[in-house]
Amino acid sequence: MRPERDPLGQPLPDAVGPQRLVVLGSSGSIGTQTLDVAAWQGHEVVGLVGGRRADELVAQAHRWRPAAVSCAAEVADAVRPRLPAGTRLLVGEAGAAEVAAMEADVVVAAIPGFRGLAPTRAALRAGRHVALANKEAMVCAGALVWAEAQAHGARLTPVDSEHAGLYQTLLGEPLEGVAALVLTASGGPFRTGPANLAAVTPEQALAHPTWRMGPKVTIDSATLFNKGLEVLEAAFLFRMPLERIEVVVHPQSLVHALVRFHDGSVKAQLGPHDMRLPIQYALHAPERPPVPLAPLPLEGTWTFERPDTGRFPALAAAYAAGHKGGDAPLRLNAADEVAVEAFLTGRLRFTGIADVLADALAHATARTPGWDDLDALDAEARALAGEAVRRAGARGPA
């Protein structure tokens, strides 16, 4: 029998058929894979928010014939004349927010980073079911996001594979029986070497062993900061204290999450490392329509090990930010966005990322920001992180 409520306390839908989708971040990794799922399951796409990839957005508009698309102002002239008849073009942040609030069944919030928060909020305020891939929304404004969802009758389902795994594992379980949530981490490309991480290049860090993802999240996987963000995301999403959220390194990336229960039992969610599966589940939960993919092979060696927070201090920094509370998670996220960009453009060593995070934690305060404070705090944290990057750069090469 289907439970009445999901693990986030929200009512479950009676039946889920083909839906009208809005995809925020349609030309990114999650966005393009969402459109694969839309093709599998016969969903309609009514709105697309792209960024600066004009050719990709135009091709998506011709394939899906949405009522509206939105793009960055600097590519609007390249997009406008090439759109199909009947597709309206909106521009910039206001355009993204307008598409996010369009009449639709599900909004897939897949614009990465802090800048994904505003259009995610617009979808929540319109009362939509939001399939949340923008983990930074939960990290930077978890309580605000929940309050907005409840005020407007919006529903949230997680797209992040670990959180989708937890959601599936918890479904139908009384939450008072839950002892701990366990997120798996691949360990990234530097799990076993090299010994000196100060000298690794962006090319090495971008070569993720299992998952196919955008550059920011791939670097975050190499530092384990992505897992740190996911710990904070899980704490806010499932309203679980940090003491009850664990991380285990599982290089094969086939077990996505586990739940420890008070009776000593552990339940896990497994699946191929293909983001289209958690995306589809976020759209269809609790239903499981078939997919055109090979079944998960069970042969082979699956290993689990403790994360090395000495080698990967960014994970510990995220826990520290969660324990500090207040504006610490938002500041840490902003600092990481600045630090990763600096690393990718050759201005910061790989190990300098953790130094910039430590600097952000030192500036954190106990004051929990409201919606009106978020942009100014994010800007301040970015400016401080920029200074920390310059100081680290001034110290010279490793």
Residue type, 263: D
Stretch that binds Mg ion, among 148-156, 159-167, 196-204, 238-246 (CB under 5 A): 159-167
| Token duo for residue 288 | 């499981």
Cβ closest to Mg ion, residue 6 vs residue 162: 162
**Shortest reach from residue 31's CB to Mg ion, in Å:** 16
Q: Are 382 and 113 in contact (CB under 8 A)?
A: no
Phi-psi region of 378 (alpha: psi -120 to 50; beta: other; left: phi over 0): alpha
**Shortest reach from residue 113's CB to Mg ion, in Å:** 15
**Shortest reach from residue 255's CB to Mg ion, in Å:** 13
Decide: helix, strand or coil at residue 171.
coil
**Shortest reach from residue 71's CB to Mg ion, in Å:** 27
Q: Are 58 and 83 in contact (CB under 8 A)?
A: yes
**Shortest reach from residue 316's CB to Mg ion, in Å:** 18
Cβ closest to Mg ion, residue 162 vs residue 274: 162
**Shortest reach from residue 162's CB to Mg ion, in Å:** 5
CA trace torsion 105, 257, 252, 348 (10° rounding): 80
| 341 lies in the site for Mg ion, by CB under 5 A | no
Cβ closest to Mg ion, residue 28 vs residue 352: 28
Radius of gyration of the chain (CA): 20
Question: ∠295-108-319 over CA atoms, to 5°?
Answer: 85
Q: Which of 375, 338, 370, 371 is nearest to 353 (CA)?
A: 338
Stretch that binds Mg ion, among 66-74, 157-165, 297-305, 336-344 (CB under 5 A): 157-165
Decide: helix, strand or coil at residue 267.
strand
298: which residues sit within 8 A by CB, 6+ positions away? none
Q: Are 47 and 98 in contact (CB under 8 A)?
A: no
The residue sitting closest to Mg ion, measured at its beta carbon, is: 160
Residue type, 155: R
Q: Are 349 and 397 in contact (CB under 8 A)?
A: yes
Distance of CA 32 to the CA centre of its chain: 15
**Shortest reach from residue 233's CB to Mg ion, in Å:** 9
Cβ closest to Mg ion, residue 163 vs residue 349: 163
The number of residues that bind Mg ion (CB under 5 A) is 3
Q: What is the C-alpha to C-alpha distance for residues 44 and 145, in angstroms, rounded to an integer?
A: 26
Q: Which of 348, 350, 305, 381 is nearest to 139 (CA)?
A: 381
Q: Are 271 and 254 in contact (CB under 8 A)?
A: yes
**Shortest reach from residue 108's CB to Mg ion, in Å:** 15
| 233 lies in the site for Mg ion, by CB under 5 A | no
User: Which of 105, 136, 148, 160 touches Mg ion (CB under 5 A)?
Assistant: 160
Stretch that binds Mg ion, among 50-58, 154-162, 273-281, 366-374 (CB under 5 A): 154-162
Cβ closest to Mg ion, residue 233 vs residue 355: 233
Residue with tokens 């909004």: 107
**Shortest reach from residue 211's CB to Mg ion, in Å:** 8
Cβ closest to Mg ion, residue 30 vs residue 48: 30
> Residue 282 gets which letter from DSSP?
H
- The site string for Mg ion over 161-200 (x = CB under 5 A, - otherwise) reads xx--------------------------------------
Cβ closest to Mg ion, residue 27 vs residue 184: 184
Cβ closest to Mg ion, residue 161 vs residue 169: 161
| Token duo for residue 207 | 């070569």
Query: What are the distances in angstroms from CA 131 to CA 283, 293, 317, 358?
Result: 7, 22, 27, 32
Cβ closest to Mg ion, residue 160 vs residue 327: 160
Cβ closest to Mg ion, residue 180 vs residue 358: 180
**Shortest reach from residue 112's CB to Mg ion, in Å:** 12
Residues that bind Mg ion (CB under 5 A): 160-162
